[in-house]
Chains A and B, each alone.
Chain A
Amino acid sequence: MSRLAVRKTYKLYIGGAFPRSESGRSYPVTSPKGDFLANASRASRKDARDAVSAARKAFPGWSGATAYNRGQILYRIAEMLEGRRAQFADELGLGKKAALESVDAAIDRLVWYAGWSDKIASVHGTANPVAGPYFNLSTPEPTGVVAVVAPAEPLLGLVSVVAPVIVTGNTCVVVAAERTPLPAITLAEVLATSDLPGGVVNILTGHQAELAPWLAAHMDVNALDLTGVTDPDLALRCEQEAAANLKRVVRPSGDDWAADPGTGRMTAFLETKTVWHPMGV
């Protein structure tokens, strides 16, 4: 007699915990062929609000951690992901070879970004030779809480938008790809076991059109990445809502996840802080 499998319940990832949606709702996730895969939590605006609170709470600690420490943790995520290559490949539901390639690319991307943690300030900061007796230095600093609408590409795309946000010290609330949310929640399990402090990454599954506008309008969110929004009306509405507290907005563009990402996704969520001090005896 064959053993009955224990199925996984896919829940949200908020503040380092895995709660169900406070609304009690879920929605069925199916394979491209239409087979039922699992019920995912359908997050509500209140879950989004809780996720923002968790991200805000995590911000001082994460942004205050050393760059070295953040880099170590991102690298640790890559290590954990490497250990679960097969599981992710299965979950991606592509052909086996393509799936593994995609997982590998996601792992490599994490490693790439991990190394940026203690270099971006050298590349993006400036020493400013002002015309006076002053020490003057500009350094990049994380902008705060970033709301990210993740692209449909469920793992590589997700990693490619989350890693650049957090490596510099931001915390985030991610709306996972609506149709393919399962790798996002499995990634959350990786994050939860990678020494990443709870609340740095919060993952919501559910309906993009329901969640994104609330995040775009939230007055305690500092920036908005609309990469995953393909509906131009929804993108426009989110951008307009984002103006209420002048969020930094990254607008959707045709991203090629295989290409060299450059530093743009990091710098989009960095502030430049310039410190002056007189020089005198």
Chain B
Amino acid sequence: MSIFEYAPAPESRDVVDLKPSYGLFVGGEFVDGSGPSFKTVNPATEETLAEVATASSDDVDRAVQAARKAFDAWSGLPGGERAKYLFRIARIIQERARELAVLESLDNGKPIREARDVDVPLVAAHFFYYAGWADKLSYAGFGPDPRPLGVAGQVIPWNFPLLMLAWKIAPALACGNTVVLKPAETTPLTALLFAEICLQAELPPGVVNIVTGAGETGAAVVAHPDVAKVAFTGSTDVGRTIARTIAGSGKKLTLELGGKAANIVFEDAALDQAVEGIVNGIFFNQGHVCCAGSRLLVQESIQDELLTMLKRRLATLRLGDPLDKNTDIGAINSAEQLARIRRLSESGEAEGAERWSPACELPERGYWFPPTLFTGVAQSHRIAREEIFGPVLSVLTFRTPAEAVEKANNTPYGLSAGIWTEKGSRILWMADKLRAGVVWANTFNRFDPASPFGGYKESGYGREGGLRGLEAYLDV
């Protein structure tokens, strides 16, 4: 027992009014789905939170038709009017921030601290940002009157359910599109709460439609002939399938896919901050982050020193109840994901890397995985090449800047990278050479609505955020 033990500090879940079951949100109304309903669980306890409807392809069709019907009026509104709806939504998100954060934490397993301090504020900020664009599109560099595309079909992942919704819906609506969005099967609840927010904002019916379900529902959204634009965030494998599916259809496509980012630490780095950056890079959101710094490339000359510091720091991470305000590491989102993390970690050991975790008691129920690091990892190991999407860090070494770049770029992915050095010109040299869409120098995992996000190579195409994020939703 340490001298200063923190008492449990759970956020109250009373702010959330969970219904036993949820339907789809189509044409401004909650409706039943025709598919079999499914359960969404709290991954920290395995408790069922609610039953959620599965949208069949007919349901998806109805949603697309509702969006289509709403399109002319919505795209015909003066931009300033669309902006005001989005500002309203942003404000309601701020007003209901605590409720959204608690629900996100419950359904996803992420620590309330992150849902409260990162996800929800960024969601509101994203709506604010794109609200402001709605009446300024003619200044965005796409000509005097750029047009929206039509109905956007959007499929989002479970790692940042509400934030990914915001990244999809805010720019789409600002540009005058209407949307049919499918949240992930394991995290549908905040999207359905967002539907309620749309009602509170008196958003015209059909502008936002939410269809829940698994992969088949998503496939129906993507393949629907009246969907003019497809936006997907998720795994590279599914992204590939989508790209193949819509080939030749003329649909505009943006994909935010996987990553295997290198976080590169030079011997002259500000080491305490580098350690924080490494921790934030791979243990933020349990490592369920496509741009996670999952490969630590450390200069060989400081490997021992840095690993000692890192291990000492990992020992202070607090894993447990996601609703506890002091929790740093929450639950793994699903049994399936936990199995994947275990499988890949086992392969790391089998291939000869050395596994280490701090002493860390895992709760008995729920899906949990301790913060883990592997040393002695080679580029050829699966844990250095495949996206684990969990709290598992692979540590590799390098000797020279050129070798660091070579190793960092030696992956089919190209989403993000980190550089830690106190030498300015080296940062710029590295940033220039790294083939990644986001380069964090002396920081990691920072997000902002004004800052474009998206990858090179198999990490997908198109950008979300900033001025570049408009392009995906305009006929340009």
Contact = CB atoms under 8 A, between A and B. Distances in A.
Chain A partners chain B = yes
Interface in A251-281: 251, 264, 271-278
A134 interface: yes
Given A245-B457, A246-B239, A246-B458, A274 B248 contact: no
28 contacts: A64-B432, A128-B448, A131-B450, A132-B446, A136-B450, A136-B451, A144-B456, A232-B248, A236-B247, A236-B248, A240-B248, A242-B247, A243-B243, A246-B239, A246-B257, A246-B457, A246-B460, A248-B461, A272-B452, A273-B437, A273-B438, A274-B437, A274-B438, A274-B451, A276-B446, A276-B451, A277-B441, A278-B442
Interface in B232-257: 236, 239-241, 243-244, 247-248, 250, 255, 257
B442 A272 contact: no
Contacts of A144: 435, 456-457
Nearest to B253: A249
B344 interface: no
A273 B247 CA distance: 26
A222 interface: yes
Contacts of B82: none
Contact of A128 (B247, B435, B451, B458): B451
A246 to B, nearest CB: 5
Contact of A245 (B141, B250, B412): B412
Task: Give me the 10 closest cross-chain CB pairs, A-B, nearest first.
Answer: A239-B247, A243-B243, A130-B448, A243-B244, A236-B248, A128-B450, A128-B451, A277-B441, A240-B247, A275-B439
B466 interface: yes
Contacts of B427: 277
B443 interface: yes
Interface in A208-261: 222, 232, 235-236, 239-240, 242-246, 248, 251
A129 interface: yes
B440 interface: yes
B439 A274 contact: yes
* Residue among A132, A138, A232 with the highest chain B CB neighbour number at 10 A: A138
B467 interface: yes
A143 interface: yes
Contacts of A64: 432
Given A273-B431, A275-B439, A277-B441, 9 more contacts: A126-B466, A130-B448, A240-B244, A240-B248, A271-B456, A272-B452, A274-B452, A274-B466, A276-B443
A272 B463 contact: yes
A123 interface: yes
Nearest to A253: B250
B442 A277 contact: yes
A131 B125 contact: yes
Residue from the set A235, A244, A276 with the largest chain B CB neighbour count within 10 Å? A276
A276 B438 contact: yes
B97 to A, nearest CB: 16
Nearest to A131: B448
Contacts of B437: 271-274
A274 B453 contact: yes
Interface centre among B247, B438, B460 (most CB of A within 10 A): B247
B468 interface: yes
Nearest to A246: B458
Contacts of A245: 412, 457-458
Nearest to A127: B450
A276 B466 CA distance: 14
B278 to A, nearest CB: 16
A236 B248 CA distance: 5
Contacts of A278: 442-443
Contacts of B436: 273
Given A136-B448, A277-B427, A128 B466 contact: yes
Contacts of A271: 437, 456
B161 interface: no
Contacts of A277: 427, 441-443
A69 B461 CA distance: 28
Nearest to B442: A278
Nearest to B416: A274
A126 B467 contact: yes
A143 B452 CA distance: 16
Contacts of A236: 247-248
B141 A123 contact: yes
B150 interface: no
Interface string B274-314: 00000000000000000000000000000000000000000
Interface string A112-140: 00000000000110101111101010100
B468 A130 contact: no
B460 to A, nearest CB: 6
B111 interface: no
Nearest to B471: A267
B454 interface: yes
A240 B241 CA distance: 9
